[in-house]
Each structure stands twice: as C-alpha cells, then as structure tokens.
Structure 1
C-alpha cells in the first residue's frame, strides 16, 4: 500500500528533507546544553520478552534519526508543525502526550521507519513549533488530526496516541474507523467522561498533584533512579515541547461515554505501566471491560512513558501488533 503525499499539497509547508531532532539550532543547542545530546547509534536489539525484570537496568541510547521532511499545516485558528519520514510503506501517525510534542518520539522514529513504515508526528496547538491556540478556540483535536491526514494524502494508516494524545486518537477512531488499520493507546484516560470513571480516576490525584513536576508524574521512580541522564533528556524534551507554557487541552468532537466507546471497531492495543500514577492497571481494566475485543499490555516497573522508559520492548510489541500478531486479552512484560 502506498500513501505518499502529493508534493503539490506540501507547498504551504515548504517541506525540506532533514533530520528531525537536528532540524532547529535551538532544539539541538538546548538539548546539548542540558547534557542531552542524542547518541548516533543504531537501535538497540530488543531484549528477550521473558527476561528477569530484577536484572540491573541498562539505559538505551537514543538511536540515530532517519531523514524526515518537515512542514507546517494551516488549520482554522492555528498553524501545526509536523515531520514525515516518507516512503511507500504503510503510515503510522504518532499523537504526543500533553507534556510533549512531535519531538517526543526519538526512540520510535528510526525503528519504525527502518521496519518499513512511513512515520509521521505533529505538534498540537501550543506545543513545539506550532502556534498557541486562540483563547476562545482550542480547536477539536480529532479535526486537526484529520486535516493533517488529508493534507498528507493518507488513505488508511496506523494511529498511536499517548496520554492526552490518546484522547484525540480515540475520538478520531470513533469518527473515522474506516481510515484506520490499527489503534494503539498508551497510558491514556481516552477522554472518557463516565461519572464513576471520573470519580475513581480523580481519587488517584490528590490536591496539588497536577502542580508536581512532569518528570515526577510521568517517569517511574525506577527509571529516574537508574537512568539520571535519560530523565534529564526527557525533561529537556518536555521543556522544549511546552516552551514554558502549561499543557494545552483541545476539545473532543463529542463526549466519550461508555456507550460511545463501546462502538469502537478498530483493532486496538491499550498499554500502560504498573507504576503509572495516572493510569495504573486497575484503570486499564475498567476501560478494557468496555472493549471486549481490545488487547491490553502492562509493563512492569514502568510509569506513564513506556515509549521512553522501555523503548526496545515497546517498539517490538507495537510493531508485532501492527503486523497482525494476536496479543492475549491481558499480558504483562
């Protein structure tokens, strides 16, 4: 299947081929100044899935990024920045967490691209290189995503949404199931508005919770203790992504209650970590109870950011799922 973009549709973005994380001097300088220079190494081999998780943690270097085109897309009230590795393989669109941006995927970009996928990510309104939302127009997240999909000429594609990005990925999957090949949701409340669900999830967040640093909330203590440099790199990426601003939320096309969620027809994998302060496994099971055909995966000693904390395992499992592998109803790694 070929989902190549029409070069004529790209004229507004004046897209040039270059390496994503080195695309701006500001980004590179900020990362280097904070001791977060990207290592130019190949992707680490995926560890054995059955390895003993009590073994000492071995940090994984960020692999060298593959060349990608960058561009801008004008949507009502905003301008969105995106990158696209191109190619003739099936596309996978990455929708970043609230603390991130299109910069959030350095561990996934080269691995997915070298596996034959066309990898695409974008920054939502108010995140790195995209314009801030208007005060009275935060925009509908799924509408912005669809505008990008149409702009790039994607017919059918894989969709991966993390944390807050999972809200808009879920909304998109409910609106446009015919456009998706597979859906992967990482550590996301999925925008669900059921009163009991909101009551239970609110109990996890005591007063002052949202004022705590993003790295404390989103990286497990195991990772922060074992990989100080990785935690600094994550924080530098988040600081660049937010630019000193608070997390910006967008609107859903309509509320996602249990009856609406139960209409989700796209093949779905939902992932969390057992140390996720937002979405621990019991909350994952609440969601899965309304999605009988969805597979779930829990990573041990991992927080809210499995794609960063355990990238080789995460990448391997996502690629297996996208390739059609069947996962158990509930599995742990």
Structure 2
C-alpha cells in the first residue's frame, strides 16, 4: 500500500468534479480526472467519456441542489487500483447517502474506470397520498414544521419536483412547504378523467382540506395559476392568506367575440393534433425559449424528462382545460393580496396575460422580470425565491 498522499489527491480532484456547479470548470475538472474513454458505472447510472460523465454529474447536481460530496475516511491504493469512500450531504446537514468507489488509475494519474457501490440510498422524498372523491389519489410532499404554510401548484406537464429549488429556500427560512402532483402527473394515480379545470381546482381544495391548512400562501406557475384562481372562485378564500402567480396562463387565451385578439380554436386543435403524433419533437423544438442561454444542459434535460414523462393524452387534456376556459369572471373573487411575477421574454404566456390578470384582481402587484422566460422559477430562481419570501413576510 502506498502512502495516502497521492491517492487522497486523486480522490479530492474526483469529488471536486462532482461538486463543481460551473459548467466550464466542471468540464475542465472532468478532463483532468478521467481519461477520454473512461467509464463510470454504479447501481443507478452508467456513462462513458467526458461528455457522458459530465451529463451524469450535472443530472445528479440538479436532483440534489445544495448538496455536496465529501471524502469519508482514507483512500487505499494497490497498484493501479484505488478504493475510497464518500458521503453526500446538504450544507451544514447530515449525510443522506454514502458509497464506496473503486477506480482504475491510468499511467497519467487519471481514472480509466470507476465502479461505484452505494452504502445507503438517498431517502425517497417524504410523501403521502390524499384520496379524492372519485377514488383517484394525489401524491404530495410536506416538509412539516410550524411555520406558515406555502402550497405549490405545478406547471403544465411537470410535477411537484419542479418546485424543489423554491422549497429548498423557503424551508430554510422556516416555512412549511407542501407540493403535490396533479392527477395523472408524477406519482399521483394515472387518472383517465377529471382534467376539467373545475375538477383540478377541487383537487387543490381536497389537498388543503386533507391537511387542514389555513393562512396558506398559494404559489402557482402557468396552468397552476389557473387552478388557484378557479379554486378561490369555487371554494372561497377562507384558507388563503396570499396568492403568488408565476407566468400565469390566464385569464383568457382563446378568441371570443369579446376577445378578438385571442387565438382561434383551430390553432389549438392543430397543436394538439401535432402532440398526438410526435410530442417529443414539439418539446425539443420549444425547449430553448423556456430557458436562458446560461441554463445548463443538465437542467434543461431534467425538466424535459419531467415533461416527457407526462402521458401525451394527459398533456392534451390539461392544456385543453385551460386554453378553452375563460377566467375573467373568476378574477373579482380574488380578495387576497396577489403577487404576479412575469418575464418580459415569456413566449409561452406573454407578458400581456400577466398584465391582464393583474388588472382584473383588486390590488394585485405585477413584477416584471427583464430578460426572463417562462421558466423563471429556474432561470431566475434566486430573485423568485427572494420575492416570494418577502411577499409571504409582508
């Protein structure tokens, strides 16, 4: 066995690559750590070459924001073989996972292959289910705690996972964060019906009643905003303290006699027909405007995988529910402080919709994010988190 100085240096460089969040610096560390044709294999993933390893590390970083890898114990080297242990933990917190990796070291000191073994799997998110009147179940996450409750209603085609960067920040500020998967999405039951906007609003009511939440701040994005507005219109605001709407897909999109600037129904139907033929192609063609150029490839891939995990019939049904609804009559029912965050580069729900929504809600405040697209909860997460926290604390 050699001294641990050289092996530990190799391990430190390896873990630095896993922890580096800057794309360029991470790529440089990967090139310095792995040979060009290096392979990585563990029970959950496999990748090859610098690009493959970079994509894998980026995906893990997106899944565990605020976490970092650290060495655990001393590294052992026997000839070309290196063994070392690691742990994964949030900043200042206890480790949630650990493992032991075995690396083959090339003559130039880089890793030619790494085989990883998990000593402990990351825990599944704390989750529960609420049963709806029609027998379907909704999966929800509840951070717990005694602070004011914030309930997140996710965007079209995604799941409660989209809010993890907001939950991380607000939970750290002492707030209780609840997020749920819409019926047919994520880990909720694969419902074959109930995608009308009224039913989706009733599902939100069921979550609030199940947890008996009061004084809640409701936070929605895109379609989730429509569900929140319809919820208050149908069920009242007795459980609600505040409402925050991000890039709202409201109040009305379709062309009507009193909304001539709207989109003709035939255009929507043509889009839905295209989805029924090749939804992944549409997603790929419309990915770029959702983000900003600085958004990492790993982050883009994560959200696109979320979208494409939603069955296309569910994607069509939920989009149909909102684009063929007129929420203008719902707006006067909103009698709670309302904050609208909208990007001026949002092509999915143009800023004009945010302005119309704000104009229809008494006392609503519109904050325009310069340069922000529809995915502002990712691209401008720090500002979004600050604005949400300040609004909740008002």
TM-score (norm 1): 0.71
- The alignment of Structure 1 onto Structure 2 pairs a total of residues equal to 275
- Give the number of the structure whose alpha-carbon radius of gyration is greater: 2
The separation in 2 between residues aligned to 1:320 and 1:218, in whole angstroms, is: 31
Matched, 1:129 2:187: yes
- Corresponding residue for 2:305? 236
Matched, 1:38 2:37: no
- Alpha-carbon shift at residue 209 of structure 1 (Å): 5.4
* Contact residue 148 and residue 176 of structure 2 kept, 8 A: yes
- Corresponding residue for 1:17? none
The separation in 2 between residues aligned to 1:163 and 1:197, in whole angstroms, is: 23
- Corresponding residue for 1:323? 393
CA RMSD of superposed structures (Å): 3.5
- Alpha-carbon shift at residue 87 of structure 1 (Å): 0.4
Matched, 1:142 2:201: yes
The separation in 1 between residues aligned to 2:141 and 2:361, in whole angstroms, is: 32
- Corresponding residue for 2:29? none
Matched, 1:96 2:154: yes
- Alpha-carbon shift at residue 270 of structure 1 (Å): 1.1
- SS of residue paired to 1:177: coil
* Contact residue 155 and residue 223 of structure 2 kept, 8 A: yes
The separation in 1 between residues aligned to 2:158 and 2:45, in whole angstroms, is: 15
The separation in 2 between residues aligned to 1:192 and 1:131, in whole angstroms, is: 29
* Contact residue 244 and residue 338 of structure 2 kept, 8 A: yes
- Corresponding residue for 1:72? 129
The separation in 2 between residues aligned to 1:267 and 1:323, in whole angstroms, is: 12
Matched, 1:189 2:249: yes
- Corresponding residue for 1:260? 330
The structure whose residues are more often helix, as a share, is: 2
- Alpha-carbon shift at residue 126 of structure 1 (Å): 0.9
- Alpha-carbon shift at residue 246 of structure 1 (Å): 4.4
Structure 2: which 5+ runs fail to align?
1-42, 68-89, 97-122, 276-280
- Corresponding residue for 2:224? 165
- Corresponding residue for 1:108? 166
Within 5 Å, give how 1:56-67 maps onto structure 2.
none
**Residues 29, 76 of structure 1: CA spacing in aligned structure 2 closer, same or farther, 3 A cutoff?**
farther
The structure whose residues are more often strand, as a share, is: 2
**Residues 215, 148 of structure 1: CA spacing in aligned structure 2 closer, same or farther, 3 A cutoff?**
farther
TM-score (norm 2): 0.61
* Contact residue 272 and residue 297 of structure 1 kept, 8 A: yes
Structure 1: which 5+ runs fail to align?
1-27, 44-62, 325-333
Matched, 1:220 2:289: yes
**Residues 214, 151 of structure 1: CA spacing in aligned structure 2 closer, same or farther, 3 A cutoff?**
same
The separation in 1 between residues aligned to 2:258 and 2:389, in whole angstroms, is: 30
- SS of residue paired to 1:298: strand
Residue range with higher mean Cα deviation, 218-227 or 76-85: 218-227
- SS of residue paired to 1:124: coil
